[in-house]
């Protein structure tokens, strides 16, 4: 709004061109700041996703390094009743 009033009040073409350039520079700077902020948010999101992936990979690696019987949530227990019947 201030630009519109200043533009109307400008007396010659050179002043108007200078005002237009200043306004365009201001808009360009705002766009660049917005793009920079969006890029920063994107980078932060990417870093979080990578950290989560590393955490999952570490859990998988740890799970695979365990002995075979330790990998299952509930390891198979020997059936004591079956062993008593055999005796």
Q: At what angle do helices 2-9 and 13-65 cross, to 10 degrees?
A: 160
Count, in order, helices (H) and strands (E) of the chain.
4, 0
| CA–CA dist 20, 26 (Å, integer) | 10
**Higher-scoring residue by pLDDT: 81, 85:** 81
CA pair distance 76, 67, nearest whole angstrom:
13
Q: d(Cα 67, Cα 53) in Å, to the nearest integer?
A: 24
What does the pLDDT read at residue 81?
Answer: 60
The pLDDT of 33-60, averaged and rounded, is 95
Per-domain residue ranges of the chain? 12-66
- Please tell me the pTM assigned to this model: 0.50
């Amino acid at each position: 709004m201030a630009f519109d009033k200043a533009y109307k009040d400008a007396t010659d073409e050179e002043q108007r061109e200078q005002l237009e350039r200043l306004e365009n520079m201001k808009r360009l700077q705002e766009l660049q700041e917005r793009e920079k902020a969006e890029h920063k948010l994107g980078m932060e999101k990417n870093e979080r996703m990578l950290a989560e992936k590393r955490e999952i990979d570490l859990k998988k690696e740890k799970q695979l390094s365990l002995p075979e019987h330790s990998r299952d949530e509930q390891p198979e227990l020997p059936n004591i009743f079956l062993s008593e019947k055999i005796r």
